[in-house]
Structures are given as structure tokens and as C-alpha cells.
Structure 1
């Protein structure tokens, strides 16, 4: 079974700043750091079976969705119909494609079942040519080869502000001012109608974003301004 997000011992929270057009009551775009972008990009590495399981376990699976029926079909199938090298578990809770547990953003790690193993780095130690002549060097004096100590977690650089559109299109924030961007690119005529809204994304809210993104192109508006029933 997939893990319930509420069971996480240390809950991860991501902050996001929305720019909302009050006249249309829609999100124009969000200003984001790397954490939210890492979350969005990392969703592509979560197996579909795990996604459906998480949505079902948190009462977020769309009632009319057909992929949920595929999931239920596997649950109800007699194992004798599966090939000898296949199991229900491997289909319903496949292993994630994350590079490693230490480099995966915390919020994404909570999208994986406890029984699913996230790959860990294969540490190769450099052994000095003097080893054996003067006795083995202490373990701490050996250098881990090929794994930088300061490797940053996630997928994108953290020194950049990113713009996430309502349909989750992601791009680096433009160097032009926000005002010019709103007027020239996004065709916002009345700047007085634009307001900032701070929101927080925990694991549950992340699941809501994931669910809505499967069928909507106004995800931020739907989730944070309540335009759709979740």
C-alpha cells in the first residue's frame, strides 16, 4: 500500500507566491524557488501505479477516471493469471526512478511507499598506493570518488527565481520587471487588479496539485482559488 502523507514524521512545506488577477479571479503566475520546481519535475519520476495508489489512499482518486479501474483490476486479479516473474506488488507499487534517496527532494520522498527502495549512491573509495606498505589508512582518510560532498538536491539550480504559469509551464523568471511582464506578455491591463497571495504546499496539497494536473490546464487557480471540486 502507498504511504499516507499524514504519517510522515517530518512534514515538508513549500512556500509559493501567487499573483492573482482579482478581476477574473485567476492565478496569473506563481513566483517559485527551486523547491516547487523540483517537486513538479520530480513527479515525472514517480511511477503511475504509485500515483494512483496515493490518490486512492487519500480519497483524491477521480471517481470517473478509468486508470483507477485498471488499478482495481490488478488488485482483484487472481495471481495465477500473472506470469511467474510478475507480482501484484511490482505493478501496484513500482520502484521510483529517483537517482538516490540523498539527492531527492524531501516532499518527493513522501510520494513513495515505505517498502519501495530508493536507489542509493554506489560509493567508490579511493585507496592510497601507500595502503599495505604502512598499514591500511583509516576509513575516514579515504576519499569518496565521483560523489561531490556539496551535491545539491533536486533538478534545477537554487539561485534562480522561477515563474510557474497556471498550467504549470515552468521558465526562469524574466529579467524585466514584473509590471512590464504583466502588461506586455500577459496582457494584464489593470495593475490594480493584481494582488499577491502566499500559499503553502504540504504533501496533501501536493497530491491535490497532482490530481488536478491530470485533467486541468488551470491547475493553480483550481487548487488555490477553489475553482474545482477536489
Structure 2
């Protein structure tokens, strides 16, 4: 898993102790959108450590416990360790690594692979060219990490350019603008600007886990994660 962090500026209504919205850049918005494309098996594996996955966690555990007499071994890994889409390596900010690691995706080849170009998912397979058992282990190499957005002109990931975004307390996202900010303040009946507070918070792996788990049951995700969790820096 990655160890990167990203900073968010929260706009807080002090009188209600509620996050109105967060000012976020491309890196955080790409991360949020990346969650939507994350294979369910990987999401469950990540969140099972928190003990909050309920029935989906039980389903995942059931597959994990089945031995090869009851489930195809090659297909078991596809459920427990599903591969993320290839475009994930383009995202400049990945708080957790969704690409398969070299020790989790195992393939097999024959001993004369200099002349053969076949690989198999199981060592019992026979090479279609030399008819030798494909018992030699080889691994899938991960693609190179994408360049930071600043170096790639804002390309890669999901959203375009280096625009700023408003991420609402319920994780709804829209482009940042003065008009949208004013509209939001009216929507939440904020009459006194003095009641507003800005707080910069760092989002790391702990906050990612809290954000993911909280998003399953709350529509005040940013408030629950950052105002009831560890403090940010003003």
C-alpha cells in the first residue's frame, strides 16, 4: 500500500460543528472517482481489517476458506484478489495500491520458454508447442507508476486539468467557483461569515479507511471523519 498523503482545506460552520465542503485538487477527486471503479473483492479485503463489512465480509471469508476440492484454484484468486483496470496506474495519488503485486499474480511456463511464448494459470497445463508441463513459475510485472499531474500537464487520472473542486460533506463533487460557494452558503443558511472556519487536514491511510467505512452509512462523511477524528492544522 502507498504511503502518500494529500491535504484538504475544510470549510466548517463552527456553530453547527459541520463541514460545509472541502476545497480539493485533482489528486483527491481522482482518488474519490477511483473508488467507484475499485473491484469489490479488493474493497472488501481492504475494509475487512476494520470489522465493518458485515455479510459481504462473511461471503469473502467463505471463499477464502474453501479448499481446492470445492473451488477452482485459479478462479479463487480472481474473487479474492481481483485485478484493477489497467488505467489505475495513471492516477497520480493512490493511497492504496490496487495493481497486482509480483507475489500475488502467479503464472507458469514450460522449461523451453525461449522458443515458446505461452503461459498458464496452473502448473498442470501442457505447453501446446513442446508438450512439457508448464511448471516453472513466473510473475506479472506491474506497470510503471504514472507521472504526477504537475509533470504531465494535468493528464492521467479521471478529471482534467488543475482545477479546484468542492467536495461536499456527502462526497458530492462539483467544480469550485465563487458563485457555487455563495450558493452553498445560502443553501445551509449561513448568515454570519464569522461562523465559518477553515481547517487544513491531511488524508493518509488511516483517513482513507475511515472515509470508506463511513461512506457506507453516513451522508456527513467529512464531518464524521475529520471533526470527530484527529485534528487538522488551522
**Normalised by the size of structure 2, how large is the TM-score?**
0.70
Q: Does 1:15 align with 2:3?
A: no
Listed as ranges, the gaps of 5+ residues in structure 2 are 106-139, 145-151, 230-234
Q: Which residue number corresponds to residue 135 of structure 1?
A: none
> Secondary structure at 1:81's aligned position in 2?
coil
1:163 CA drift (Å):
0.4
> Secondary structure at 1:87's aligned position in 2?
helix
Aligned residues: 186
Q: Which residue number corresponds to residue 79 of structure 2?
A: 91
**In the aligned structure 1, how far is the partner of 2:74 from the partner of 2:176?**
46
Q: Which residue number corresponds to residue 60 of structure 1?
A: 50
Q: Which residue number corresponds to residue 125 of structure 2?
A: none
| Matching of residues 156-195 of structure 1 within 5 Å | 156-176=159-179, 178=181, 180-195=182-197
| Matching of residues 69-218 of structure 1 within 5 Å | 69-82=58-71, 84=72, 86-99=74-87, 101=89, 103-108=90-95, 110-114=97-101, 115=104, 120=143, 152-176=155-179, 178=181, 180-218=182-220
1:13 CA drift (Å):
0.9
CA contact (8 A) 1:45 1:98 kept: no
CA deviations on 1:16-54 (whole Å, 9 max, x unpaired) are: 000111111111110111111000001112111111111
> Secondary structure at 1:79's aligned position in 2?
coil
> Secondary structure at 1:154's aligned position in 2?
coil
CA contact (8 A) 1:95 1:118 kept: no
RMSD: 2.6
1:100 CA drift (Å):
5.2
1:90 CA drift (Å):
1.1
**In the aligned structure 2, how far is the partner of 1:105 from the partner of 1:29?**
23
CA contact (8 A) 1:43 1:108 kept: no
CA contact (8 A) 1:162 1:170 kept: yes
**Normalised by the size of structure 1, how large is the TM-score?**
0.71
